[in-house]
Amino acid sequence: MKNFLFTILGGFLALIVFVLGSLFGEFVNVLKGSQSSQSSSSELVINEQISASIEATPDIYISYPSFYAKNISDDDKSMINAHFSGILTLVKENGLCTGGAYQTYNEMNKDGLNSLSLSSELACKFSANKLEQYNKLIADIENLIKSSVVKLHLTAINPAFSAEAEAKNQSELKSALSAAATNAAQNLSSDFNKTCVLNELNFNGASYYRTSLAEGGTAAKISAPELKSKSLKASADAKYICK
């Protein structure tokens, strides 16, 4: 009988120890979770837009001379074909421009009647030392079509960046943005009295200044502006983690 009571008592005590152990384990887990939550709540996520700029000088010129003709008659078509064949030959030999094929379309003239018109455009890119070569092309084209219904419309010669220069500018802007983002992390650390680390930097591209095209005209020689340094700007979205 005494052994039986001791057995029951031992089992009861073991059950109590087991329950207390389970409760203690839960308490520890809750405490850890509370500490983790407090640690997480003290972490700051800050999103900022970072900007940077560099100075760069355009290395080429661009221009887009165009051609037009209105009220084209059937008698004009053969001459137009011959003149544009000559224009394409001049463009190919000169090597500074592309394009030159023309398109025809119907439009209403001032008398309210449908008439045939055409349009065409050249895309020209050249370095500063080839400006005279470009002007020679324009002069040769003007001489070719001087008796034609096709007219030449000149646009401004604008500074621009070649593909190689643009790639270099993009690389320098990214470096400038990275430096600015690192500096911003240091400032945030000081402002919030925490250690702020750059987590992400998404580059958004450069914003280039482009001179608007000026109106030209037939038989008008347009001079090229000086290639001057200009400011190129870029921005990036930065994400910081501060602890």
Q: So what's the pLDDT on residue 113?
A: 77
The residues with which 44 forms a beta bridge, in sequence order, are: 242
DSSP 3-state of 136: helix
DSSP 3-state of 116: strand
d(CA 154, CA 66): 7
Judge contact between 71 and 116, C-beta under 8 A. yes
Q: Is the pLDDT of residue 171 over 70?
A: yes
> So where are the chain's domains?
1-42, 44-57+163-242, 65-154
Q: How far is CA 154 from CA 27, 36, 59, 126, in A?
A: 83, 70, 21, 16
b/e burial code for range 124-144 (CB count within 10 A of at least 16 → b):
bbbeeebeeebeebbebbbeb
Q: So what's the pLDDT on residue 11?
A: 53
Whole-number mean pLDDT of the chain? 82
Nearest residue to 57 (alpha-carbon basis) of 223, 225, 236: 225
Lowest mean pLDDT among 134-143, 146-155, 209-218: 209-218
d(CA 85, CA 136): 18
The pTM assigned to this predicted structure is: 0.68
* CATH architecture of structural domain 44-57+163-242: 2-Layer Sandwich (3.30)
Q: So what's the pLDDT on residue 223?
A: 80
148: which DSSP letter? S
* CATH architecture of structural domain 65-154: 2-Layer Sandwich (3.30)
Q: So what's the pLDDT on residue 7?
A: 53
Residue found by looking up tokens 């020209």 in the block: 124
Reported confidence tier of residue 203, pLDDT bands at 50, 70, 90: confident
Q: What average pLDDT does range 149-172 have in this prediction?
A: 94
